[in-house]
Amino acid sequence: MKRKSRSGRFVLRLFVTGSTRRSRQAVSDVKDLCEKHLGSQYKLEVVDVYQEPERAEDDQIIALPTLVKRLPLPLRRIIGSFSDQERLLAVLGVAPARPRP
């Protein structure tokens, strides 16, 4: 079941380090969450800090992987593993799914 945010479309930026196993897992986990719970209501940009270190500096990224929720406000940064989807949804501010009757 798709979940709705309180403010509509999500704009997310995921910072990773190259194509390491941990980076690939982070990308996979975030894409999976977005497809399952946000449908077409998101834009995900993946930034490789090896290729674009200035982007990490501009966004004040100090640990990797880091997911930045730019919209809807407030801005949020989530660091580390993204495998716990319920925790990640809560941090992103996605409304809980309604039980089916």
In order of their start, the domains of the chain are 10-92 (3.40.30.10)
Q: Which of 91, 88, 93 is nearest to 30 (CA)?
A: 88
User: Using one digit for the tens of pLDDT, what is the confidence trace for 31-87?
Assistant: 999 999 998 999 999 999 999 999 999 999 999 999 999 999 999 999 999 999 888
**Residue 2's pLDDT is what?**
45
In the 8-state DSSP scheme, what is residue 52? -
**Residue 4's pLDDT is what?**
45
Task: Kindly give the pairing relationship between strand 10-16 and strand 42-48.
Answer: parallel
Query: pTM here?
Result: 0.85
Reply yes or no on whether the pLDDT at 88 is more than 60: yes
